[in-house]
Structure 1
Amino acid sequence: MPDPLMTLVDDAPSSRQVEDLLQPHRRLIARLRRSEALSTGDVEAALRQMTELASTVLRVERVSVWRLCEGGGRIECLDLYSRRTGSHEKGMSLGIRQGPTYFAALDTERCIAAHDARTDPRTTELFQTYLEPLGIGAMLDAPVFLHGQMVGVVCHEHVGAPRYWRLWEELLAGTLSDFVAHVMEAEERAVAQAEVARYRAHLEALVEARTKELRASEQSFRDLFEASPTALVLSRVPDGRLVLINSRARQMMQLPSSVGNGEIDTARFYESLEDRDRILEDVRCQGFVDGRETRMRTFDGQPRWCQISARVITYDGEMHIAAGLNDVSGLKDIEQRLREAAMKDPLTGAFNRRHLFDVGAGELERARRYDRSLAVAIFDADHFKQKNDRHGHAVGDEILVLLSKIARSQLRQSDVLARFGGEEFVVLFPETSLDDAFSVTERLRERVAAAPVETAAGPVAQTISAGVVAWDRSESLAQMIERADRALYRAKESGRNRTERG
């Protein structure tokens, strides 16, 4: 009887088919980022939407999201979607004793791709208690990391025979786990904002009730300030000097205990003094600011993204600014990764076709307005299909990744490299003549041909063919690429491993 896993490997899609399969990945990112449930803080609805979309795109029967319980000994299900019944469940739990190897893998691996879950050493312990009763044959599980710690896992479960997970599916699973981390971070952020709001209301009530006897209650105020679960600072309005800073704020901003109150200016903690001045101006004009996200830095210069809520109060008979700080650096990192995932090809790291045309529209307008030159090159890997068929798609992927890496090493920071489809890449050269673009492309071609590509199958000789054109001021970017593609075709017809002008 043929091995079902080998059958799945033999049926692996071509690179062009992989490109088509990745389109749901990009649409998924866009849909999740625009999710109304996420924007309104409805965490349960956001997770339900994600599990349903993941089930459709990955074609799996079951998708679930689990959170690591306090102590790390169990994971609890936040949402389980069954594609067959269209239903959602939650509340189930799985203990570390049922699968200690699986729990260990969650802490160390970016993605657990168990093609045959019954025999995979990371999941086989779950066979009797979990896999066999549910008929699960393959699992694709992506741990969720928040602030550098594993806090949960997104599980994609294929019911039936074993299934070989493709690279694009593993990449998608990782992106979905990043989205869940984004949801959990947003939930933490909402809780922190509520805490700041509750404390601010309490502080206002306290200040109003105690205005006449402020001096007598100064020590009580300091005690309350220090006991707050929120990072709080109090600074003088005239000179910005810190008067009070509680332990939470000292820890967040890495302020040594040797630095006393009144010895440091708040300006030290801002990446940009303009940001500080805008906050101070708004506080002076309105009396407060709420939830202002600002780039800051710690006492020793480490960058931080903080959400600031501040207002003017009277302390010790003088005007001061009381501010609450919430560190949102982790959320900003996740947002940046989601933005990059939406505009980059996940395999090669080059920009995708959509981003190429977005940037290209602006460069064409700039070249037209300021009478600047512009050039485009298109290149692809010679005999790529034969190498794919001979060595396998994994080797083909390695070739594409290396071509992208070599191309980036030969290009300027202002040049735009994009994977156009399959084994084709396009380079946009702003403010570049045809001769200069041709020279750069030739250097790239020579660099690729100079040495074989080191792959899992051993060294593979590789060359590229390319076409280069200059903008004639009457055509669109798509028309330029079409002319460059015709020049590429001439290079192929002339024997390959060459560059032709268009």
Structure 2
Amino acid sequence: MGSDDTATPDTELPRLRAMLEALGHMSRSSRSQGADVRASFRAITEVAATTLDVARVGIWLFDDAERSTLRCACLFDRSTGTHTEGLVITRGDHRVYFEALDSDRIIDAHDARSDPRTSALRESYLDHYGVGALIDAPVVGGVGSVGVVCHEHVGPPRTWSAEEQLFAGSIGDMVGLAIESARRREAETMLRERETELRLALGAARIAIWRWWPARDELDVSDSFGALLARPRGWAPSRLEELLRAIDPADRDAVRAAFDASRTEGRELRVECRARTPHGGTVWLELRGDHDLTGTGREHSVRGVALAVTDRKQLEQRLAHGQRMEAVGRLAGGIAHDFNNALMTIAGQIELLEGSFTSEWQRARAADIERAVFQAGHMTRQLLAFARREPTEARVIDASARVRELAPMLELLVGARVRIRLDARRALPVSIVPVHFDHLVVSLVANARDALGDGGTLEVSTSNDTLDESRAAALGLPPGRYVRVAVEGVAGTAIAPGVLEARLGGEGAVATIAEDGRLSAYFAMASTSDGAGHSG
């Protein structure tokens, strides 16, 4: 090492072969190191030092965009077999050397101390390390020169052959490829991480991404799309018609029209629709999209997102139901108040007339009127209690007893053309705000009355029911034991199926639904140890 051997035909061919083999080894090593650019630098400097028979090989990289500072990223000392880093040289102190790096393919300083390109390095570097000759090759990256590979011959000057210069240039290229490969792999890793984060974010937000190419009816959706419809992971419609088959038949035409309008008129797509789940349930989706062009600029597509809006629709339905019930409550309270005043007048007049009765028949008829006034007064008190909206707390009540207490008000609600029949004898405990229970039962009976049309008989029944996973999923409830309050038309007075409203939360799972020709409300059954069996 350090001697300037004169090349002969007998020695030149083996050295060329060794250089080629070294380049092949470094190429394979660089690929195997992957994103570990430091490991690649160590392997390259070791092979380069051995192949060129030099004492030291260093990889220096620019610290800044102005390329005013070179910092050593890896310096291999062949005599000790060690790697160091951190040395710095600046353009201000070595301007000629930096300008040579900017312009020359190779700096072949046979006598580094006297070569004008490298002589400025003598005091700060060359004499300190005993370097007599240098062969430096710029490292070129994707944005131009990013550094230099310095091959340092320790000892007297040395003449670099054309083959050695070519090899040194190849080493510079190899370092540039290692840097770019590491950057590319790092970017790919970051991209995969961002894609994973995006999938997690879309799943948490219940949002999916889709794109549709109308000309070939090709649909591409993200992995989170299936979850919006409670489908297995990976479920993905590949055509618009496949997506439409999952949409509720009542909404398919509106969805198809929205897609067609976006395709033909370039309009923004925005449509809400119901979709069916595998368990027979229903979810709400909002599809948004806009007209787009692919990278070719020729083929049209529609790109957009799908949002799960079931919770929002349920809130809207509950709000509308609450507003209707509030209006009914105000009306019932007003009627009950006025009716109660009339009853008090009737009762007062009967009391005044009692002294003037001359026969038992008259007194018996007055007693009948007093009993009727008392019963009517009980009904008005129920109406007033129903109309009150003071905040209350959930407590355990007997669903059957509560239904029996509501019977007079239910009969008044359905009118003369509809008869109420009760099947509510068994004590069934539920934990709920009593007035909320009343509102739901009244809502069931009111909807059933409207479904009867010309009148008939409604049977209101209570029973316990155990929902397995399939039935519970269709109702949007957790599996478990429930008390079911059902309203069923009797003697052919059927009720059309369909979900009436969504569940109420915060006080046990509650849902109302039309099924099997009857309207049902499901209330989470309370533990009998909680004091079940009494009404509130």
Q: TM-score, normalised by structure 2?
A: 0.40
- Greater relative contact order (Cα 8 A, min sep 6): structure 1 or 2? 1
Q: TM-score, normalised by structure 1?
A: 0.42
